[in-house]
Amino acid sequence: GLGPGGAELQARYLLTHLPAQGVAVRLGTFGGDKESLALVAAAGVPIDRLTPKPPGVWPVRVVSAILGILRRHRIRLVHSCLSTFDILAPCLKAFAPGLEVVTSRRSLDEYLSPRDLARLRLTGRWATRIVGNSNEVAESVTRLEGFHPPALTVIPNGIPLPETLSADERARARQWFGLGPDRFVVSFPAHFRRGKGHALIAEVARRVRAAHAEAVFLLAGDMEVSEQYRRIAAETRRAVAAADLDSSVRFLGPVADIRGLQAASDASLNLSDSEGMSNSVMEAMALGVPVVATGVGGNLEVITDGVHGLHVPVRDAAAAAAALVRLAGDPALRGRLGAAARQRVAAEYSIDRMVARYVALYREVLAG
């Protein structure tokens, strides 16, 4: 469904901007959060609701339902945006002659289960085009699935370029969180799921607070999506409490106002084991907030170390803390990195640029 995740956000951006480019588009989905679905509907995009658990064999029934939509509306191209449908969508071509199918890859194949990787290898052969959201992802697909250009192409994520944060807005955001101007504030926008680095938070915070007692970490992310999320959130809370950091690490839950979160922050932290192309990293950059991020996947493409942000090794709490301590002690560096990061997003990762690339791809595919 069109939920709160990064892939879903990119799908929403695409859906809401395609009609203005003269592309007739429909959304087929199991559901989603009300706000996302309302924004898509407001853009004039018809929404076809699929039954999450149709009777019978699940993949067969879902494919049958999608085929019905394709035939009723004479749809010539399907673009899948989530992993389950990246596996299923190419199968539609066996039942709909002339249909073109574009599938997505938004994470490194190294972190897929062997079963899902085998399925993607199999059905990917029937896709008209496979789109990776970063060069690192595309290289991973080539290495582990065996697909190459022109069947494989890269279209990076797009992010809206917001208004610059003013000093007054930053002050109001801090006041809302109950934070004074003397606090060094680090945002950590990441849902509580595997691979996001929550196990490191307590140690990173302990090391940063040892150098800057006024440091505070704002953890923003869903903790209730599944048992895995709840378990990771509970483990993180226990580690924070054991380190006597309850006053320095705040668990905010899902945060709709990302601008407000980043406006209150001096730096933003990413500790992911892998990234296709992180929306949260790009959102911080677009607002001019300097980012400390693991040097993996799309992070390596979006951020040049020491120019647009700072890279740290994966699962290295000491290195992450050292980078944050460096930023805490150097406001001028924070300003330079933040300004360069915003310019980087504006030049390379705007929504208009992303949508234009997809429109060109669709037209190329339909032209044969």
Same domain, 209 and 302: yes
Q: How far is CA 85 from CA 6, 80, 346, in A?
A: 16, 6, 31
| Domain-located, residue 303 | yes
Q: Are 2 and 32 in contact (CB under 8 A)?
A: yes
Residue 3 has, within 13 A of its CA and on its CB side, a CA count of 8
Q: Would the pLDDT of 248 be above 90? A: yes
Cα(147)–Cα(150) distance, rounded to whole angstroms? Answer: 9
Q: Do both 50 and 117 map to the same domain?
A: yes
- Residue 77, in any domain of the structure: yes
Global pTM value: 0.88
Total tally of structural domains belonging to the chain: 2
Q: Which long-range contacts (CB under 8 A, 24 or more apart) does 172-176 make?
A: 172/263, 173/260, 173/261, 173/263, 173/264, 174/264, 176/260, 176/264
Q: What is the mean pLDDT of residues 73-101?
A: 91
Q: Are residues 153 and 197 in the same domain?
A: no
**Domain span at 324:** 167-348
Q: pLDDT-based confidence at 57, cuts 50/70/90?
A: low
pLDDT recorded at residue 55: 61
268 and 278 both lie in a single domain? yes
Domain match, 198 and 263 both: yes
Tell me which residue has tokens 């992180």: 278
Q: Can you give the pLDDT at residue 211? A: 97
Q: Which of 296, 284, 260, 267 is nearest to 342 (CA)?
A: 284
CATH number of the domain to which 26 belongs: 3.40.50.2000
Is 149 among the domain residues?
Answer: yes
Same domain flag for 342 and 354 = no
Cα separation of 31 and 47, whole Å? 9
pLDDT at 53 over 90: no
Does any domain span residue 214?
yes
pLDDT for the residue 238: 98
**Residue 1 counted as domain residue:** no
DSSP assignment of 31-80 = -B-HHHHHHHHHTT--EEEPPSS-SSSHHHHHHHHHHHHHHHHT--EEE-
Structure tokens, 259: 């601008």
pLDDT category, 58, cuts 50, 70, 90? low
Domain assignment present for residue 276? The answer is yes
Same domain, 232 and 276: yes
Q: Look-up: residue for tokens 């992450």?
A: 320
Rounded Cα–Cα distance for residues 117 and 204 (Å): 34
Cis-peptide, bond into residue 156, ω within 30° of zero = no
If asked whether residues 182 and 297 sit together in one domain, one would say yes
Spatial distance between the Cα atoms of 278 and 297, rounded to a whole number of angstroms: 9
Q: What is the pLDDT of residues 209-233, one digit of tens each?
A: 999 999 999 999 999 988 999 999 9
Same domain, 340 and 197: yes
Q: Confirm whether 256 is domain-assigned.
A: yes
pLDDT surpasses 70 at 56: no
More confident residue, 108 or 293: 293
What distance in Å separates the CA atoms of residue 183 and residue 330, rounded to the nearest whole number? 14
245 shares its domain with 320: yes
What totals of helices (H) and strands (E) does the chain contain, helices first? 15, 12
Rg (C-alpha) for the chain, rounded Å, is 21
Amino acid (one-letter) located at 62: V
Which pLDDT belongs to residue 282? 96
342 domain-assigned: yes
Identify whether residues 43 and 149 lie together within a single domain: yes
The whole-chain average pLDDT of the chain stands at 94
Q: Which of 51-55, 175-179, 227-231 has the lowest mean pLDDT?
A: 51-55
Contacts of 71 (CB under 8 A, 6+ apart): 96
- Written as six digits, the tokens of 16 are 């809401």
Q: Which residue has the tokens 């933003």?
A: 268
Are 327 and 212 in contact, with CB atoms under 8 Å apart? Answer: no
pLDDT per residue as tens digits for the range 263-317: 999 999 999 999 999 999 999 999 999 999 999 989 999 999 999 999 999 999 9
Same domain, 120 and 240: no
For 103-141, letters b (16+ CB in 10 Å) and e give bbbbbbbeebeeeeeebbeebbeebbbbbbbbebbbbbb
Percentage of the chain surpassing pLDDT 90?
A: 84
Residues 161 and 172: their CA atoms lie apart, in Å, by 21
User: Two tokens at 45?
Assistant: 């995009």
Contact (Cβ atoms closer than 8 angstroms) between residue 8 and residue 2: yes
- pLDDT exceeds cutoff 90 at 6: no
